[in-house]
C-alpha cells in the first residue's frame, strides 16, 4: 500500500526546505576584503624613485649653499697659528668678501686691514690659502726686523707670533733688492722691483698684501706677491670642528732612528680615544 506523503503544517519548515533545494548563488568577495588586515608593501617604505628624488633635492641644496653661501675648508699648515691650528675645519662665508658684480645674494662687505681671508693661491689657482690682510691698495709697506710699518707707522699686531727661527733678512727686512730668497716666485721678484720706492713696497689698486700670523713660518705675500680682489673667496666664520693631530700622523716621527728605543705608553681606553681625538674647546669658535 502506498504511504501518503507527509506535509508539514509549519510554513517555516516548508520555506527552509524549499530554500535548501533551490540552487545556491554565492556573491563574489570584494577584492579589498581579503586584504583588509594586510598592509600594502608600498605603504611600508618609500619607493626607490621617491628616495632618489629626495637625494637629488639634498644635492641641489648642498650645491647651492657651497656655490653661493658658505664652504668648508681644512687648515693643513701652521702658517696661521695660533689663530688657526692644523686640523681646524672652517666654514667660510663666501658672501662676505665676494668681488663687486659677482652676483651675490646678500650684501658684501669691504676687505679691511686685519681681516682673515680665504683666496686662490696666486701661484696655483687650484689651491686655496688662508692669511691675514696687512696691506691695502695704495699703502706703502715695509718690514724692519720683523715688524710691519704701514705708511711710516708701526702696525700693532696682537695676533702675530714670532717663534725662534734662524735669521732671514728677506723675511724680516722686506722688501729687499739684494740676495733674493730661493723660495721667492721669480715672476713676483721681477714685479716687486718695479713697485719699490724709498725702501717701501707700494700696493697697487685692486690688490692686497697678506701675511701669516705665524710670522717666521709662513709663505705669504713676501714670497709670491699680492692677492687680487677677484681671487678672494670669502672670510672664515667659525671653526666647526678641530681635529687633534697625533704623533702617528707626523712623518717626522716615523723616521727617527731611536723611535724603537722610546718607552711605550699604555694604550688609551676606548672612551679616551673617542674624547681625545679632537680639540672640543675650539668647536664653534668664531674666527677673528
The per-residue pLDDT for range 107-164, each reduced to its tens digit, is: 557 899 999 999 999 999 999 999 999 999 999 999 999 999 999 999 999 999 999 9
Average pLDDT over residues 28-36: 51
Annotation says 131 is catalytic: yes
Q: How far apart are CA 240 and CA 154, in angstroms?
A: 34
The per-residue pLDDT for range 252-283, each reduced to its tens digit, is: 332 333 333 333 445 555 455 556 789 999 99
Helix (H, G, I), strand (E, B) or coil at 10: coil
Domain with 178 in it: 72-248+279-286
How much is the pLDDT for 14?
A: 44
109, three cell numbers? 662687505
Number of folded domains that form the chain:
1
How much is the pLDDT for 54?
A: 78
The per-residue pLDDT for range 179-234, each reduced to its tens digit, is: 677 889 999 999 999 999 999 999 999 999 999 999 999 999 999 999 999 999 99
Catalytic one among 47, 125, 131, 273? 131
pTM: 0.69
229 within domain boundaries: yes
Paired sense of beta strands 207-211 and 128-135, if any: antiparallel
How much is the pLDDT for 5?
A: 38
18 within domain boundaries: no
Catalytic one among 8, 34, 79, 82? 79
268 within domain boundaries: no
240, three cell numbers? 666647526
223 within domain boundaries: yes
**CATH number, residue 116:** 2.10.109.10
Annotation says 262 is catalytic: no
12 within domain boundaries: no
Amino acid at each position: 500500500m502506498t504511504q501518503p506523503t507527509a506535509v508539514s503544517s509549519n510554513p517555516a519548515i516548508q520555506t527552509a526546505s524549499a530554500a535548501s533545494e533551490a540552487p545556491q548563488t554565492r556573491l563574489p568577495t570584494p577584492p579589498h576584503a581579503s586584504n583588509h588586515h594586510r598592509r600594502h608593501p608600498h605603504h611600508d617604505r618609500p619607493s626607490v624613485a621617491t628616495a632618489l628624488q629626495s637625494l637629488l633635492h639634498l644635492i641641489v641644496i648642498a650645491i647651492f649653499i657651497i656655490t653661493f653661501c658658505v664652504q668648508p675648508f681644512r687648515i693643513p699648515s701652521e702658517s696661521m697659528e695660533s689663530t688657526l691650528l692644523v686640523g681646524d675645519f672652517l666654514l667660510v662665508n663666501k658672501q662676505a668678501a665676494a668681488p663687486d658684480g659677482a652676483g651675490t645674494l646678500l650684501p658684501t662687505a669691504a676687505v679691511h686691514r686685519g681681516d682673515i681671508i680665504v683666496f686662490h693661491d696666486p701661484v696655483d689657482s687650484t689651491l686655496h690659502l688662508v692669511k691675514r690682510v696687512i696691506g691695502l691698495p695704495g699703502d706703502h709697506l715695509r718690514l724692519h726686523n720683523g715688524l710691519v710699518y704701514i705708511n711710516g707707522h708701526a702696525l700693532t699686531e696682537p695676533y702675530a707670533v714670532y717663534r725662534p727661527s734662524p735669521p732671514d733678512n728677506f723675511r724680516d727686512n722686506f722688501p729687499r733688492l739684494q740676495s733674493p730668497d730661493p723660495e721667492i716666485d721669480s715672476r713676483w721678484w721681477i714685479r716687486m722691483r718695479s713697485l719699490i720706492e724709498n725702501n717701501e713696497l707700494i700696493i697697487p689698486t685692486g690688490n692686497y698684501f697678506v701675511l701669516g700670523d705665524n710670522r717666521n713660518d709662513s709663505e705669504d705675500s713676501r714670497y709670491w706677491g699680492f692677492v687680487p680682489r677677484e681671487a678672494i673667496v670669502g672670510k672664515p666664520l667659525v671653526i666647526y670642528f678641530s681635529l687633534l693631530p697625533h704623533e702617528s700622523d707626523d712623518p717626522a716621527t716615523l723616521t727617527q732612528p731611536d723611535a724603537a728605543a722610546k718607552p711605550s705608553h699604555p694604550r688609551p681606553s676606548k672612551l679616551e680615544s673617542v674624547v681625545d681625538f679632537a680639540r672640543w674647546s675650539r668647536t664653534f669658535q668664531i674666527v677673528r
